[in-house]
Amino acid sequence: MKTILAAYSGTLKGTGSGILSALQDLSVAFWPCRAKMEKHLQLISVLQWVITFLVLGAACTVLLIYMFCTDCWLISAIYTAWLIVDWNTPKQGKTSKMSM
């Protein structure tokens, strides 16, 4: 979101196609000034990133465990085997031989 705001805030200002210019057309009751609006957008983007970071890891772990109990257990088993084999790859600084 921050990249999108940075890309559109300066170059397309006033053309109606930028995110900030579209939000400025909204009622002034929500954001009395532009600085407050930008702070709100920054807060929303940070909260979205933090919530995604915290929730997505746990949700994918629960999904993997759940898939072991379904007919798709083979996909979970193959993924878990690859995860175990490829665990030390970042420490070695290279790709695994299985992926080549």
Cα 29 to its chain centre, rounded Å, is 30
Residues 9, 45: one domain?
yes
Residues 7, 54: one domain?
yes
pTM above 0.75, yes or no: no
Residues 64, 82: one domain?
no
| pLDDT computed for residue 94 by the predictor | 67
**Domain of 79, in residue numbers:** 74-100
Residues 9, 28: one domain?
yes
> Looking at the 3D structure of the chain, how many domains does it have?
2
Q: What would you report as the CA-atom Rg of the chain, rounded to the nearest whole angstrom?
A: 22
Lowest mean pLDDT among 34-43, 75-84, 87-96: 87-96
Residues 17, 39: one domain?
yes
pLDDT tens-place string over residues 23-71: 666 655 555 677 788 888 999 999 999 999 999 999 999 999 999 999 9
Residue 80: pLDDT over 80: yes
Torsion, Cα 55 79 88 100, to 10 degrees, reads: -130
What does the alpha-carbon distance between residue 77 and residue 68 come to, in Å, rounded to a whole number?
A: 7
| pLDDT computed for residue 30 by the predictor | 59
| pLDDT computed for residue 37 by the predictor | 84
